[in-house]
Chains A and B, each alone.
Chain A
Amino acid sequence: MVRQIYLLCLMVWVGSVQALDVKLTPDREFVEVIHKNKLIKIQRIQDQDHVLEGGFAKTSRKCPPFCIQPMDAGEGVKTIAQLELFDFMENELLDGKGLIIDARTPAWWKRGTIPGSVNIPFTIFSLDIDDPQLIDVMKTLGAKRRGDVGGFSRAMEEMGLMGGDQKNDEWDFTSAKKLVLWCNGMWCGQSPRAIKGLLELGYPASKLLYYRGGMQVWQTLGLTVTVPE
C-alpha cells in the first residue's frame, strides 16, 4: 500500500516536472507547425526572469515611416491576436486552406520569422498586374487569372450571382486561400500595405486576417522564432 502511494507521488512529481510552467493557455503548452518540411514546436521561453533584449526591445523609431498603425488594416479585414493565429496554424494552415504571410522585406525575414510563415514582401502586391512575379504569387495564393469573360456573365457576377463576390475582371478568388498577414508589429506598415495591395487586386476581405501584434508582440511573449537557413 505504502509502495503504491510512493509510486503515485513519484508519478505526480514527474508529471509536474515535465509540464511547462509558462504555457500558451491554461490547457495548451505548445503548438506544432510544419515550416519548410520541418516540424517546429512553438512554445514560450520558460525563464520567468527573462527580459526581452535585442531589436524588438526598442521602443522608438522615427515616424514617419515607422508610425503606429490603426487597429483595422482594411474594410472587412479581421484583426487577430496570438490565440487566433495558433488556431489558424492548427486548422487552415494544416489543411492547406490557409497561408501565413510574413509581408516584410527579405532583410527582416532573414533575421527571424514566425514558424509556419512564408515570405511574400509587401512590394509584390503593388507590381503591375501583368508582372510575372505577381502572377506567380497570386497563383500560390490560389487566385486564378481570368481570360475573356463574356459581358453577360460579368453583368451577372456584378449583380452578385455566379459567385460574383469572389471574382473581378482579372482574377477569380473562388479557390483563394485564407491569409494571415503580419510584419513587425503595431509600428510597422508593411503588412497593412500588403493588405491594401491585395484589396486593390480584388482579394476578398473575408479571406484576409491581420495579425497586428506581429514580431514585436510575438517576441514579447517569448514565443519561438525560426531563422531561415
Chain B
Amino acid sequence: MKYFRLCLQKKFKAVLWVKILCLHLFVNAAYAQSSNSDYLNSLEGEASGLELDGQTKNLQKKSFAAKEKLFNGVAQGKKGGAIAELLPGLTIEQLGIVLKNNYMGSYLFFKRLSDSGQEEVYQFYKNNPDPQKVREKILQVNKK
C-alpha cells in the first residue's frame, strides 16, 4: 500500500513537472512572438511619420534628371563623351576600357551584360566602330 502511494506521488510529480515545462515553453513562445510583433509595430510607427530632408529630395531629382539627359542624348544621337570615334581593331577588354574612360554610363551597362551580351556588342562594334551606335547597342542588348 505504502509502495503504491509512493508510486502515485512520483507520477503526480512527473505530470506536474511536464505541465510546468509546457507552460514555460508556451509563455516563452508567446513572449517572443509578442516582443517581435512589438518591435515590428514600433518600426512601422517610426517609418510612418518619416519625412525625407528637403535637399535630399532635390538631389534625388537632380540625379534622375542627369540620368534622363544622358539617355535622351543617346536616343537622339547627340554627341557625348570625350571621343568622337572608336578605333577599329580593339579587343573586347580594350573596348571596355575605352567605354570606361569616355562613357561611364554605357560602361556600367556594358559590364553588367552577360558574356554573350558583351560578345554581341563587341561583334556589333567590329562592324560599326561608331561610339553612339555602340552605346545604343549596349542599351538595346541590356533591355533584352
Contacts and interface: CB of A to CB of B under 8 A. Distances in A.
Given A55-B50, A222-B55, A227-B52, A94 B43 contact: no
B44 A225 contact: no
B60 A53 contact: no
Interface of B: 38-40, 42-44, 46-60, 63-64, 66-67, 70-71, 104-105, 108-109, 111-112, 142
A53 B46 contact: no
B108 A52 contact: no
Interface string A11-45: 00000000000000000000011100111111111
A3 interface: no
9 contacts: A37-B142, A39-B70, A41-B66, A53-B54, A54-B51, A55-B49, A107-B48, A108-B43, A112-B52
B56 A107 contact: no
B44 A224 contact: no
**Interchain residue pairs A-B with the least CB separation, the first 5:** A107-B47, A55-B50, A54-B53, A54-B51, A108-B47
Contacts, number: 105
A162 B48 CA distance: 49
Given A32-B105, A38-B67, A227-B52, A45 B40 contact: no
Interface residues of A, number: 43
Q: Is the interface of B mostly helix, strand, loop or mixed?
A: helix
B63 A224 contact: yes
Nearest to B68: A38
Contact of B108 (A34, A112, A224): A34
Given A104-B43, A190-B43, 5 more contacts: A39-B105, A53-B53, A55-B49, A94-B111, A224-B59
A88 B115 CA distance: 21
Contact of B54 (A40, A54, A226): A54
Nearest to A218: B56
B13 to A, nearest CB: 36
B103 to A, nearest CB: 11
B60 A55 contact: no
A193 B63 CA distance: 32
Contacts of B54: 53-54
A105 B47 contact: yes
Contacts of A52: 53
A111 B60 CA distance: 12
Interface string A93-105: 0111000000011
Contacts of B109: 34, 39
A56 to B, nearest CB: 7
B88 to A, nearest CB: 27
